[in-house]
Amino acid sequence: MKQPRVESVEKALSILEAFSKDRPALTLTEISVETGLYKSNVSRLAASLERYGYLKRDPNRRFRLGPALWRLGALYRRNFELGESVRPVLRQLVRETGETASFYVPDQDERLCLYRENSPDPVRHHLDEGARLTMQSGAAGHVLAAFHLGDDTARARLDADGSCVSQGERNPHISAVAAPIIDATGQFHGALAVSGPLERLNREALAKARAVVVASARALSRGLA
């Protein structure tokens, strides 16, 4: 059997993927170059995307992502009844550790920062909600790789309780600790993590943080009916 797919749809979606934090507005030719599609083709695909509000054109006729994405994105996040329960947990983690707390979910073969509460400390690990990182490194990355992809190498890095720590792995100045969220049915939802500057979040602090994160993850996991 052949994997079914619809080419033009995937082309259209790849147009959306061309946008990023650093490139929030693109001209037709830029999109064309970025995606490798012909300009005429992009023009037509973009027209359809625009109709549905997935793209819009700013005053100088450049393309930007459209409001429909935000609307559907909000719907997506609502699916996680988690939202209501995760935020307080993150805030609690920030209070208890003084560091930044985040919640990651798998997005394709990468990981997505779904929720985040930043440390009050001016020197902190900063990252935006909606940011996407690799699953190949970082404490949360390993947890996701192990539970979502079923990666054995990653699984080997995990503690018996499923938690994982990393020091200066993805970013040389950051250490972190993460634990999985798994509901009663065994369904994996994502990873809870605390991260901060390596200097402050040293071996000792990490060990303490690990206990807190694991406990919070347990509580959250239980909270999912």
Partner DNA sequence: TTCATTTGTTCTACTCTGCGCAACAAATCT
Partner DNA sequence: AGATTTGTTGCGCAGAGTAGAACAAATGAA
- What residues make contact with DNA under the rule CB under 7 A? 1-2, 4-9, 11, 27-30, 37-41, 43-45, 60-62
Binding piece for its own copies, criterion CB under 8 A, among 14-22, 154-162, 166-174, 208-216: 14-22
For residue 11, CA distances in Å to 2, 6, 8, 110, 225 come to 19, 9, 5, 20, 39
Task: Using DSSP bridges, classify how beta strands 25-26 and 188-197 pair: parallel, antiparallel or unpaired.
Answer: unpaired
Whichever of 141 and 197 has its CB closer to its own copies, that residue is 141
Binding partner selected for residue 160 from its own copies, DNA, none, CB under the kind-specific 5 to 8 Å limit: none
Q: Which does 27 bind (CB under 5 to 8 A by kind): its own copies, DNA, none?
A: DNA
- DSSP codes, 45-101: HHHHHHHTTSEEE-TTS-EEE-HHHHHHHHHHHHH-THHHHHHHHHHHHHHHHSSEE
- For DNA, give the closer residue by CB, 5 or 21: 5
**Cα 112 from Cα 135, distance rounded (Å):** 9
Alpha-carbon distance values, 171 to 6, 49, 109, 197, 223 (Å): 38, 36, 19, 10, 32
Q: Minimum Å distance from CB 207 to its own copies?
A: 32
Nearer to DNA, 122 or 187 (CB): 187
d(CA 27, CA 49): 15
Q: Closer CB to its own copies, residue 156 or residue 187? A: 187
* 10 interacts with its own copies by CB under 8 A: yes
Binding residue (CB under 8 A) for its own copies from 29, 39, 52, 123? 52
Distance set, CA 145 to CA 75, 148, 187 (Å): 25, 6, 15
Contact 48, 66 (CB under 8 A): no
- If the CB atoms of residues 30 and 107 are measured against DNA, the closer one turns out to be 30
- Stretch of residues binding its own copies (CB under 8 A), selected from 87-95, 128-136, 144-152, 155-163: 128-136
DSSP bridge partners of 196: 175
Q: Which of residues 129-168 bind its own copies (CB under 8 A)?
A: 129-130, 132
* Residue in 51, 95, 203, 222 binding its own copies, rule: CB under 8 A: 51
d(CA 23, CA 106): 23
Binding site for its own copies (CB under 8 A): 3-6, 8-10, 12-14, 16-17, 19-21, 24-25, 43-45, 47-49, 51-54, 59, 64-79, 105-108, 112, 114, 128-130, 132, 185, 187
